[in-house]
Amino acid sequence: MYDAPKIAVRVGNEVSNPTECLCGVRQGCPASPILFNFFINDIFKGVRGVRVPGLTSRIPGLLFADDAVLLAESSAELQDALNTIIEWSDTWEMAVNASKSGIMTISGDLTTDMTLQGQKVDSTDQYTYLGYIMNSKWDVSGTIKNNKNKVRNAVYAAYSFLRRTDVLTALKIKSINSILMPIGCYGGEKFGMSEARCKPIQSEIDKAIRMVANIGKSAAMERIRDELGIASVLMRTSTSRERAYHKWPTSKTWIADLIKAPMKARMATW
């Protein structure tokens, strides 16, 4: 498969002459993601990372495909970690997009500017990692607000469909369960088991349910949801949280170690 591979570029109906591909993976090949994971797997080698109480090993960061999160305990250690990434990237002829990177501090301030391959990395108070919003306050408010807005936009987009009288109610219910609920419950493993946190998202989904049931704001929504077979956001996210608590300890990632050695602090999400 990778014995003297060749590539060509197509623009409109014109195709360029093939040329030899000396590096990289084949676009569209099922093996490419796996090969890239092997390639990038040692990017954190030499990164000091952070110490977590209860764990015997330091955590250098998080890595999912080409999305990486570096962890450091001070500005100096962070720049050392960035230098390690620079060395790795230069060795393997990779370019890091500093404009899509950011530095978020927890309980502290950044004492100096950070650079990555000659580019300044800006500071931020929140960032999105795999669709989940992390912020410097270490709470779930950003994700809840983001999910709420996404559900609202989805309801607006489906307004004419939900209002149509020639569409079966069962089909509308299925669209709520299979489209709106997954959008609203994304990341529910973190904010589940709290009715107050789920309420903003539930209020947006209830708007769609009222359209389907053709009822007003004074209706008892809990009963309506039971009649239509639509679980609440609280139930869906709480189930996800419980499932994660039992499944994640078997994972081969840092989350397994963190669950097995929980921090001794007040749990704000239970």
Question: What integer pLDDT is reported at residue 217 of this predicted model?
Answer: 93
Q: How confident is the model at residue 3 (pLDDT cuts 50, 70, 90)?
A: confident
Per-residue pLDDT reduced to its tens digit, 131-170 = 999 999 889 999 999 999 999 999 999 999 999 999 999 9
Per-residue pLDDT reduced to its tens digit, 88-111 = 999 999 999 999 999 999 988 887
Closest C-alpha to 153, from 145, 165, 141, 142: 145
Q: How confident is the model at residue 112 (pLDDT cuts 50, 70, 90)?
A: confident
Q: C-alpha dihedral over 209, 213, 214, 217, to 10 degrees?
A: -50
Q: How confident is the model at residue 23 (pLDDT cuts 50, 70, 90)?
A: confident
Could you tell me if 217 and 210 are in contact, meaning their C-beta atoms sit under 8 angstroms apart?
yes
Q: Is the pLDDT of residue 130 over 60?
A: yes
Q: Which residues fall within 8 angstroms of residue 44, CB to CB, at 6 or more apart?
A: 60, 61, 63, 68, 84
Q: Rounded to an integer, what distance in angstroms lies between the CA atom of residue 101 and that of residue 121? A: 6
Q: Rounded to an integer, what distance in angstroms lies between the CA atom of residue 90 and that of residue 145? A: 39
Element (H, E) at 6: strand 6-7
Model confidence, pTM? 0.88
Question: What integer pLDDT is reported at residue 268 of this predicted model?
Answer: 59
DSSP string, 21-60: --SS--TT-TTHHHHHHHHHTTTTTT---B--TT-SS-B-
Could you tell me if 61 and 70 are in contact, meaning their C-beta atoms sit under 8 angstroms apart?
yes
Q: Rounded to an integer, what distance in angstroms lies between the CA atom of residue 169 and that of residue 161? A: 11
Q: Rounded to an integer, what distance in angstroms lies between the CA atom of residue 27 and that of residue 127? A: 29
Q: Is the pLDDT of residue 265 over 80?
A: no
Per-residue pLDDT reduced to its tens digit, 195-228 = 999 999 999 999 999 999 999 999 999 999 999 9
